[in-house]
Amino acid sequence: MKAIFPLRLIFIPAFAFLFASPTQPRPDQSQHITSREARQVPFLEVAQNQQAHTDSLNATESNKDEEIEIQKKVSSYTGWLVLVGSIQFLALVTQAIVFYRTLRQMQDTDKRQLRAYLCVDNARIKFYSPTLPEAIVTLKNCGKTPAYGAKYQIHLWVGPHPLPKNTILPTPIEIVDEPSAVIGPGNAISLAHQKHPSVATPQTPLGSPASTIYIYGTVAYRDAFQQERHTNFRLSWGGTAPRMIVENGEKFGNPQTEPSGNEAD
């Protein structure tokens, strides 16, 4: 028992020291870890900075790509807008041209409907003798507005029927020149002209195929729209069957319109 007691005195304090003191790392090991971590921190910061710079560059390149794509789209949309605008402009120009032409046509139609028209209303030949005919031509304003400043020319000529090709008839003699003359709508005037003495008396009777009477001339006038107008006329009496009419017991030749020489504007 005496031997055991000293041993208790030795082991009890030892156990108390072991259980009472906390476990702490050795100074050299803690210093070693701290130093290694201290060396690793700059490398981590550099890596992080490089990664951030790389991410920034990637973001910048991505933004540039997006901007380029947006610019391409804007350019494409602008091109389409220019195309659509050009088509609309051409459509407007076409509409303006069509409207202008339609307006001109309407104006021309109104003029044609309202303007004066001097035309041959009737004609006859009066015979003072078998060799002295007189042509009487009635011109009428068939339009709806007056004719102004009328000038008339008429001529009587004797020749074969039908006329040979390329026949040039003598120039009509001007018998009326009245710048102040006005022919109202529906009004008419008569032109009379005897055979000119220079026209030789034919050997065959007047009205035969070889001695057909030709009555021709022109009338020039100005319509209400200040446009110069003219009417040419050409009639003939004779050929194979000359026509006669009777008025108040008096016989007159009834000339017919020729196929050519009756132009008007």
Of these ranges, 10-24, 99-113, 231-245, the one predicted with the greatest mean pLDDT is 231-245
Question: For residue 120, what is the enclosing H or E element?
Answer: strand 118-129
Is the Cα dihedral 151, 170, 191, 231 positive or negative?
negative
Residue type, 259: P
Interval 154-201: pLDDT, tens? 888 888 999 888 888 888 866 665 556 789 999 998 888 887 665 566
Q: Based on DSSP, count helices (H) and strands (E) in the chain, helices before strands.
A: 2, 11
Full DSSP string of 198-260: TSPPPSSPTTSTTSEEEEEEEEEEE-TTS-EEEEEEEEEE-TTS--EEEETTEEEE--EE-SS
**111: confidence class by pLDDT, cuts 50, 70, 90:** confident
pTM for the full predicted model: 0.60
Report the Cα 206 to chain-centroid distance in Å. 58
